[in-house]
Amino acid sequence: MSTERAAGALLVVLPLAFNLCFFLLARSFDYPDILRRPTSEVLARFRAGGARLLLLWWAFALTAVLLAPVAVLLAVALVGAGRSVVAVAATIGVLAGVVQFLGLVRWPFLVPYLARVDADAGPARREAIDVVFQSFNRYLGVAVGEHLGYLFTGGWSVVSGVALIQATNTPWWLGAAGIVVGGLLAVCSLEFVGGFEPDGWKLAAALTPIAYVAWSVWLIAVGVALLF
């Protein structure tokens, strides 16, 4: 299989796998709305999900890892794009995959332990569990997974968009679309920055699902262009 076809195939597989896992988590765990519920309720729902939910979170985390080879293969597959541009794009894309994985991997490894301890905990210990869960949610979930994840993913999309415009084997408009979608994701990364930290920026919260749907469609379109 050529590099172009490998990149194209992964560009199609990544958004499909990501959205499938997200859909299944929303259906079985009420994610992400469940995060607005009290910690004890979140952990109780997690325990009720059993091994199936645990494996689903693990698979969801692995979709973030998949972004790294996608970024590298796309950089290699674009014929005629500037070497410095594709190098920067690949680097940012790998970083995006790493930080999103770090944000998600707490669910299949840290949260199961907290859920087990919470099951038989008294009031004092349950309060401690709440602090631990919410602290990791803010640090790994919001700061690393969402803030840095959205920022690096948006940056990768923008720089990849520039490379797509320069490339001779992809239509220029796919590059323009990537720049727009990447800019939206960068805006979404500001949801809990500065004065928005306590409650979040409502505009960014509303834009995030729209931006990720648009990003998914863009990835598939780039993948199809490379495949055919």
Domain ranges of the chain: 3-227
* Residue 30 phi, psi (nearest 5): 60, 35
Contact by Cβ (8 Å): 178, 89: no
- Residue 120 pLDDT grade (very low, low, confident, very high; cuts 50, 70, 90): confident
Contact predicate 53/28, CB 8 Å = yes
The residue to which tokens 């607005």 are assigned: 36
Could you give the CA distance from residue 112 to residue 91 in angstroms, rounded to a whole number?
32
For residue 177, pLDDT over 80 is answered with yes
Reply yes or no on whether the pLDDT at 45 is more than 90.
yes
Is the pLDDT at 122 greater than 90? The verdict is no
Is residue 1's pLDDT more than 70? no
| pLDDT tens string 87-98 | 999 999 999 999
Could you give the CA distance from residue 3 to residue 167 in angstroms, rounded to a whole number?
15
Residues 6+ apart with CB under 8 A from 116: 47
The amino acid occupying position 147 is: H
Identify the pLDDT of residue 133: 97
Please provide the average confidence, as pLDDT, over all residues in the chain: 96
Chain position carrying tokens 């707490």: 106
Percentage of the chain exceeding pLDDT 90: 96
What mean pLDDT do residues 197-212 have? 94
Average pLDDT over residues 172-182: 98
pLDDT tens profile 125-136: 999 999 999 999
Helix (H) or strand (E) holding 211: helix 202-227
Share of the chain above pLDDT 70, in %: 100
Note the pLDDT tens digit of each residue in 54-84.
999 999 999 999 999 999 999 999 999 999 9
